[in-house]
Structure 1
């Protein structure tokens, strides 16, 4: 038996932030990062609560790739304030950290006999990339290693997809995050846990990214393109929270974490190589993954008179997006220290194999496969 679930209520289109006017007579905690306060983005939320005389507090200590220490500080804040509503405002780091903070706060308080029901959780993404606003996934950092957590209790209750929050995102971050969206969709599409339901969301996501990424990259004031990518990010989140991902993310988690490459950029660099690996056109049998990659090529109107041409067309189209958005073609171009990478290759490979995303990759990788793939991705 398969299960498909979309837990989050999604408020979208221009001005959807006005949903917050429905919150009255509640204690609210806003979790965000310092930039959201400095830039004034958080003021849109604060002004609503001030006008409605809603009691609120702010926790703004979120850092990129949220370390476990940040999560612990947030838990201490929650244990004291005990909000009825928690709002995560920001990119994947803010939303991921908030998920972990909520999960650990509820468990700790209840374990200590201090009954505390899970607060209403509202996520407001300010980048069009992670889809974290509708997923059960959270990634936190311990030392230099990123640890993905998966728990249904971390799924936000409400996602507010308001493109006004992404209209000032710089071009390179727009590209990096949109390529993260594309990777989410493609990995969910070929996942062992894919279904008709997740495929529909993934297909639409892929189409939207190819149609609108370059428009948003070249003109940040193109609000149609911004809104379409913001919706695509959310839909990709719905797809992969049900279907899971694959080794593209497994490798990105460990390589990106160790070498400080933005997550979306890591995924973009890795994606063409993983598609080639998963398609396995050198194998004796035509693979299901290869057929599905061809389906995407056909949907995008790319040449696909054969399985080989269809897979190659998809890879080439992705490489065009990478080139046109100035994303490095390999890890060497991303300034990864080759000596450091290869000296630590065994631990990097082991971390990728143990990653939760690996279990649903369409092709079962060996340790040697991952090692060879990383060498290829480096540009070895």
Structure 2
């Protein structure tokens, strides 16, 4: 039996941050970072909440790839406030940190036999890639390894997609986060847990990304492309929080955590090889993935008279998009030493095999399969 859950209320388009003026409560715990403070969005959030009589306590020590130390610091700060609202303002790392804080508090209280009333959880993303504002996923670093936590309890109650919040994103981040959103949609589409509901969302996200990401990459002032990519990221998030992901993310978690490569860039480096592996065109085994890739080719109005033709054209479209965004073809182009990479392959494969994203991949990979993909992308 499968199910489809869509929890957060979503407010979107320019100026939607003003919805904060309608929030009811006494104290808000704002999880953010120094970038949002410098750009003025943190103060704007405080001001909007103040207009409705809500005091704010700020935790802005979030760093990329938040670890358990950051979560512990955030928990301590939250307990000093007992806030009835949590606002996560920032990129995927910030929203994941906020999820980690409230999830850990809930688990600790539950273990102690105490009740923990979840505060109203509002997520305001400052990048367009993770979809974390609508998902029940959180990625936290523990002892140098990225750990994927999945629990419906963590999903935000409200997501605010104000496209002005992403207008200052650097070009390289536009590329990385945009491809992260694309991978979310593609993996959700071929997931073993995909449904008609998630397929519809994934198809729309893929279409929006292919039509608008290059335009946003070339011109950050393109407000139309900016809104559409932000919406695509959110839509892809809705798809994968219900359908799950696959080995593109499992391999990316291990690669990024090991060599300190951004999550979006890690996904981008692996994307073509993973699509080729899942399609498995030279085998007579299940055509499930290749048939679905061919459907995505049709969505993009590419020739797809057969599953093979459609898959090949889709794979080429992916490669062309990555090239247009200036994304390297190989891991070695990032300056990573071959011997160091090879020494870490077995460890990364072990992590990927046990990653929460692997079970819903359309092909069940062997250890040798994953080693081969890593070798191919190096």
User: TM-score category by the smaller chain?
Assistant: over 0.9
Residue 363 of structure 1: SS of its match in structure 2? coil
Residue 357 of structure 2: SS of its match in structure 1? helix
In the alignment, the residues of structure 1 paired with residue 213 and residue 278 of structure 2 have an alpha-carbon distance, to the nearest angstrom, of 25
Are residues 1:187 and 2:187 paired? yes
CA RMSD, Structure 1 to Structure 2 (Å): 1.2
- Aligned twin of 2:140: 140
Q: Deviations over 1:113-152 (max 9, x none)?
A: 6543110000000000000001010000013210000111
In the alignment, the residues of structure 2 paired with residue 113 and residue 81 of structure 1 have an alpha-carbon distance, to the nearest angstrom, of 21
Residue 334 of structure 2: SS of its match in structure 1? coil
Spell out the pairing of 1:220-299 with structure 2 (5 A cutoff): 220-285=220-285, 287-299=287-299
- Aligned twin of 1:96: 96
In the alignment, the residues of structure 2 paired with residue 106 and residue 345 of structure 1 have an alpha-carbon distance, to the nearest angstrom, of 36
Give the TM-score normalised by the residue count of structure 2: 0.97
- Aligned twin of 1:153: 153
- Aligned twin of 1:317: 317
- Aligned twin of 2:354: 354
Single out whichever of 324-333 and 357-366 deviates more from structure 2: 324-333
| Cα distance, 1:113–1:305 mapped onto 2, change above 3 Å | closer
In the alignment, the residues of structure 1 paired with residue 204 and residue 163 of structure 2 have an alpha-carbon distance, to the nearest angstrom, of 18
Give the TM-score normalised by the residue count of structure 1: 0.97
Spell out the pairing of 1:170-209 with structure 2 (5 A cutoff): 170-209=170-209
Question: In the TM superposition, what is the alpha-carbon distance from 1:109 to its structure 2 partner?
Answer: 3.6
In the alignment, the residues of structure 2 paired with residue 361 and residue 98 of structure 1 have an alpha-carbon distance, to the nearest angstrom, of 28
Q: Deviations over 1:338-376 (max 9, x none)?
A: 211111221111111110111000001000111111100
Number of residue pairs aligned between Structure 1 and Structure 2 = 378
- Preserved contact between residue 128 and residue 174 of structure 1 (Cα < 8 Å): yes
In the alignment, the residues of structure 2 paired with residue 185 and residue 115 of structure 1 have an alpha-carbon distance, to the nearest angstrom, of 36
In the alignment, the residues of structure 2 paired with residue 116 and residue 304 of structure 1 have an alpha-carbon distance, to the nearest angstrom, of 52
| Cα distance, 1:114–1:284 mapped onto 2, change above 3 Å | closer
Are residues 1:54 and 2:54 paired? yes
| Cα distance, 1:213–1:56 mapped onto 2, change above 3 Å | same
- Preserved contact between residue 129 and residue 181 of structure 2 (Cα < 8 Å): yes
Single out whichever of 111-120 and 254-263 deviates more from structure 2: 111-120
- Aligned twin of 1:369: 369
Q: Deviations over 1:22-57 (max 9, x none)?
A: 123421110001111122121221111233332110
| Cα distance, 1:114–1:281 mapped onto 2, change above 3 Å | closer
- Aligned twin of 2:23: 23
In the alignment, the residues of structure 2 paired with residue 60 and residue 312 of structure 1 have an alpha-carbon distance, to the nearest angstrom, of 45
- Preserved contact between residue 79 and residue 105 of structure 1 (Cα < 8 Å): no
- Aligned twin of 1:116: 116
Q: Which runs of 5+ in 2 are unaligned?
A: none
